[in-house]
């Protein structure tokens, strides 16, 4: 047997197990997200209600980084997943590489009604989070840093700093620190961004790699300010640590839903996609976790109270203060080159 | 005989030979035969820097583990049986804690607001917290802790086989205890030293979680390049080329060491 056949057999067996488990359901899909509290919140707000309304079975799976699995599954010719919730960049990249289905928006009216910057030919925004400037209120009881220019100003705001060990959102922050307006970032001036980063590099204590690590740094007072994801900061604050963040000049990022090329239940997957971005389901998501709905119409449903809306990254007034990440740029050749350049920047 | 080992052989074939072979194949084959992945590994600066750093850290960890481990093994070897069991259990005990937990434990000890800095400041030894972690130092400390048993156990096994009579013979010929140690015990324990050092060194080359968590992002070891390359180049070949390069360097080391000592003594007890 060749290796490919082996893989196919393995996938077919796995598929058969999944199939047997839900053989009595008429229609079903396999939905994959990132697990943990986040997937739990979706289950309550979006997945269970959608399954009920459509009369389908949603089998769930979770994986922290779906990209290698998408490549392997589609590469084997018999994917077992249908819909994946993954950072938008992967949907675009996957679309370009023929791993992701092109969407027919006439069958997805809820997505068709969303602003164009919230969808791509291959994906629909599912939820928003933001890379924000977070700081210790112990170190800065007043006059806290409020912009990336402040973060870069080590004289006016002394203290230990951390940034994410990744170019995405970090290059954007560097350019904003250098005076570029949040809505004028793309295409990124990569040279200028790296030059600005060289400036702050000696003052960065930690380049963090996981969200948990960024939370720990802030919680333990290991750093006085850092770039972190809003949900991580608010979780630390809820635990009682004296930390806060500003949405000012945050980088608004999203995960999107996309469908694997050759998905076993394509038609049902498209139906689910439409249901998943329904404004009411979407509005229920932030009631369960600190992420903003991917569909801005969710804010018009009156499900989200104004006080709650004000805390969310994609709430229109908050979104206006931030830069909306261009995943199209990051998955372009220039974006990929910038990502490769990051490694040599870090090791210099 | 063959029937008895065939299940084990099958497992090794399925779980080790095939996947590793598949990875190696991907590093040279992607829509046709290509050496691009290797060209990158051998020409781009960052790979050299990472390999150099990885070898530096591994050498440092090996030396420190030897300096710390030898006295422990020696003590365990020279005390009565009950005590040696206690000492060895203490050495092996951390094995039951996950590497991740131990990395976080070191973070709690070494970070700015950690136990060590707090204590030193309380005692007025320092006025500013020391940078003990998020750098190479923190990585080395935690790695030594994790790998120490791999040094102590081969050392102890070798020392056990050194006949105590030899020390007495040395003493009866008028040598001082330290001279007997240097001239008799130490040379006889060298195979254990070599075995322990090889184990620690080779294991350290592939360390991932510890430098990732305690290195502050600047300590980029080879294993981290492997995971980074999957993300960066969107194909396994780019990552497996790095892994193959590391594997080859490990094989070269094993080969070099095996010229001085038989592999049986490193990998198993005889």
Per-residue model confidence as pLDDT tens digits over B78-127:
999 999 999 999 998 888 888 889 999 999 999 988 999 999 999 999 88
Task: Tell me how far apart the alpha carbons of residues B211 and A58 are, in angstroms, rounded to a whole number.
Answer: 39
CB of A178 within 8 Å of any CB in chain B?
no
Question: In this predicted model, what pLDDT tens digit does every residue of A60-88 receive, in sequence order?
Answer: 999 988 988 998 899 889 999 999 999 99
CB contact under 8 A, A213 and B213: yes
Q: What is the pLDDT of residue B113?
A: 87
Q: What is the pLDDT of residue A23?
A: 46
Residue A141 or residue A4, greater confidence: A141
- Split at pLDDT 50, 70, 90, the class of B266 is low
Around A295, how many Cα atoms within 13 Å sit in the side-chain half-sphere? 28
Backbone φ, ψ for residue A86 (5° rounding): -150, 160
Tokens, residue B190: 């060298």
Task: Tell me how far apart the alpha carbons of residues B78 and A162 are, in angstroms, rounded to a whole number.
Answer: 49
Q: Are A144 and A244 in contact (CB under 8 A)?
A: yes
Question: In this predicted model, what pLDDT tens digit does every residue of B31-86 receive, in sequence order?
Answer: 789 898 999 888 888 899 999 999 999 999 999 999 999 999 999 999 999 999 99
> Does residue A196 carry a pLDDT above 90?
yes
- Split at pLDDT 50, 70, 90, the class of A7 is very low
The mean pLDDT value for A93-98 works out to 92
CB contact under 8 A, B220 and A222: no
> Does residue B267 carry a pLDDT above 70?
no
- Taken in order A340, A341, A345, A347, is the CA torsion positive or negative? positive
Which residues lie across from B29 on neighbouring strands? B33
From B49, B131, B212, residue closest to A209, measured CB to CB: B212
The mean pLDDT value for B15-41 works out to 88
Q: In this structure, are strands A123-136 and A243-259 parallel, antiparallel, or unpaired?
A: antiparallel
Tokens, residue B44: 């781009």
Q: What is the pLDDT of residue B211?
A: 93
Q: Which of residues 133-162 of B touch A (CB under 8 A)?
A: 134
> Does residue A18 carry a pLDDT above 50?
no
Residue showing tokens 């530096």: B56
B104: Cβ contacts below 8 Å, ≥ 6 apart: B213
> Does residue A16 carry a pLDDT above 50?
no
CB contact under 8 A, A206 and B216: yes
* % of residues, chain A, pLDDT over 70: 93
The mean pLDDT value for B193-205 works out to 92
Question: In this predicted model, what pLDDT tens digit does every residue of A112-166 receive, in sequence order?
Answer: 999 998 999 999 999 999 999 999 999 999 999 999 999 999 999 999 999 999 9
Which of B234, B235, B236 best tests the A interface by mutation, with the highest count of A CBs <10 A? Answer: B234
**B96 DSSP 8-state letter:** G
The mean pLDDT value for A231-255 works out to 95
From B18, B113, B134, residue closest to A205, measured CB to CB: B134
Local structure of B52: helix, strand or coil: helix
N-to-C CA span, chain A: 47
Q: Are B216 and B134 in contact (CB under 8 A)?
A: yes
Q: What is the pLDDT of residue B94?
A: 84
Instruction: Give start and end residues of each alpha helix (H) in A134-265.
Output: 148-152, 170-177, 190-200, 211-219, 230-238
Residue B236 or residue A17, greater confidence: B236
> Does residue A110 carry a pLDDT above 90?
yes
Secondary element (H or E) of residue A33: strand A28-33
Residue of A nearest to B112 (CA): A222
Local structure of B213: helix, strand or coil: helix
Task: Tell me how far apart the alpha carbons of residues B117 and B106 are, in angstroms, rounded to a whole number.
Answer: 12
Q: Which of residues 302-341 of A touch B (CB under 8 A)?
A: 339-340
Question: In this predicted model, what pLDDT tens digit does every residue of B142-178 receive, in sequence order?
Answer: 999 999 999 999 999 999 999 988 888 988 998 898 9
Q: What is the pLDDT of residue B148?
A: 95
Which of B111, B221, B225 best tests the A interface by mutation, with the highest count of A CBs <10 A? Answer: B111
> Does residue A347 carry a pLDDT above 80?
yes
* % of residues, chain A, pLDDT over 90: 82
- Split at pLDDT 50, 70, 90, the class of A22 is very low
CB of A220 within 8 Å of any CB in chain B?
yes
Predicted TM-score (pTM) of this structure: 0.84
Question: In this predicted model, what pLDDT tens digit does every residue of B178-192 receive, in sequence order?
Answer: 999 999 999 999 989
Residue A179 or residue B217, greater confidence: A179
Q: What is the pLDDT of residue B210?
A: 93
> Does residue A302 carry a pLDDT above 50?
yes
What is the CA A77 to chain-centroid distance, rounded?
Answer: 27
- Split at pLDDT 50, 70, 90, the class of A3 is very low
Q: Which of A163-177, A248-262, A275-289, B17-31 has the lowest mean pLDDT?
A: B17-31
CB contact under 8 A, B217 and A207: yes
Q: Are A260 and A8 in contact (CB under 8 A)?
A: no
Question: In this predicted model, what pLDDT tens digit does every residue of B208-259 receive, in sequence order?
Answer: 989 999 999 889 999 999 988 887 887 788 899 999 999 888 888 888 877 8
């Amino acid at each position: 047997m060749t290796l490919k056949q082996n893989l196919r057999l393995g996938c077919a067996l796995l598929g058969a197990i999944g199939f047997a488990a839900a053989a009595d359901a008429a229609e079903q899909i396999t939905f994959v997200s990132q697990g943990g509290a986040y997937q739990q919140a979706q289950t309550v707000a979006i997945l269970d209600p959608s399954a009920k309304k459509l009369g389908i079975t949603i089998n769930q799976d979770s994986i922290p980084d779906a990209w290698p699995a998408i490549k392997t599954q589609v590469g084997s010719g018999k994917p077992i997943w249908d819909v994946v919730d993954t950072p938008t960049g992967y949907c675009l990249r996957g679309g370009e590489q023929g791993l992701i289905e092109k969407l027919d928006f006439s069958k997805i009216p809820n997505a068709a009604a969303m602003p164009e910057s919230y969808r791509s030919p291959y994906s629909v925004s599912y939820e928003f989070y933001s890379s924000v400037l977070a700081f210790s209120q112990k170190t800065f009881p007043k006059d806290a840093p409020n912009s990336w220019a402040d973060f870069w100003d080590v004289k006016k705001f002394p203290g230990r700093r951390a940034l994410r060990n990744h170019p995405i959102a970090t290059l954007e922050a560097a350019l904003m620190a250098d005076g570029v307006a949040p809505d004028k970032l793309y295409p990124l001036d990569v040279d200028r961004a790296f030059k600005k980063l060289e400036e702050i590099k000696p003052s960065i204590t930690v380049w963090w790699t996981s969200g948990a690590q960024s939370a720990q740094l802030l919680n333990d007072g290991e750093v006085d300010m850092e770039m972190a994801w809003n949900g991580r900061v608010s979780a630390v604050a809820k635990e009682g640590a004296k930390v806060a963040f500003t949405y000012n000049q945050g980088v608004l990022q999203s995960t999107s839903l996309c469908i694997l090329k050759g998905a076993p239940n394509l038609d049902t997957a498209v139906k689910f996609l439409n249901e998943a971005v329904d404004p009411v389901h979407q509005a229920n998501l932030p009631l369960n976790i600190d992420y903003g709905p991917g569909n801005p119409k969710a804010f018009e449903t009156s499900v989200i109270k104004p006080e709650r809306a004000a805390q969310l990254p994609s709430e229109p007034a908050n979104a206006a203060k931030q830069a909306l990440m261009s995943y199209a740029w990051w998955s372009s050749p220039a974006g990929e080159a910038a990502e490769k350049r990051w490694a040599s920047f870090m090791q210099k | 005989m063959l029937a008895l080992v065939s299940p084990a052989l099958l497992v090794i074939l399925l779980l080790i030979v095939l996947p590793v072979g598949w990875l190696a194949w991907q590093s040279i084959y992607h829509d046709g035969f290509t050496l691009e992945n290797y060209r990158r590994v051998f020409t781009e600066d960052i790979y050299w820097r990472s390999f150099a750093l990885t070898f530096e850290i591994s050498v440092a960890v090996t030396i420190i583990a030897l300096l710390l481990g030898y006295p422990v093994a020696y003590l365990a070897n020279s005390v009565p049986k009950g005590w040696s069991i206690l000492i060895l259990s203490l050495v092996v005990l951390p094995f039951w804690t996950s590497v991740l937990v131990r990395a976080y434990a070191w973070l709690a000890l070494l970070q700015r607001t950690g136990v060590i800095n707090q204590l030193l400041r309380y005692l007025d030894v320092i006025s500013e917290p020391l940078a003990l972690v998020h750098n190479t130092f923190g990585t080395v400390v935690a790695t030594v802790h994790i790998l120490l048993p791999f040094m102590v156990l081969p050392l102890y096994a070798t020392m056990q086989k050194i006949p105590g009579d030899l020390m007495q013979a040395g003493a009866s010929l008028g040598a001082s205890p330290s001279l007997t140690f240097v001239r008799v015990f130490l040379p006889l324990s060298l195979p254990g030293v070599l075995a322990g050092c090889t184990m620690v060194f080779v294991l350290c080359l592939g360390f991932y979680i510890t430098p990732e968590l305690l290195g502050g992002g600047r300590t980029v070891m080879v294993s981290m390049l492997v995971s980074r390359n999957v993300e960066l180049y969107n194909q396994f070949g780019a990552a497996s080329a790095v892994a193959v390069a590391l594997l080859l360097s490990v094989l070269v080391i094993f080969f070099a060491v095996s010229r001085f000592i038989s592999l049986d003594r490193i990998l198993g007890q005889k």
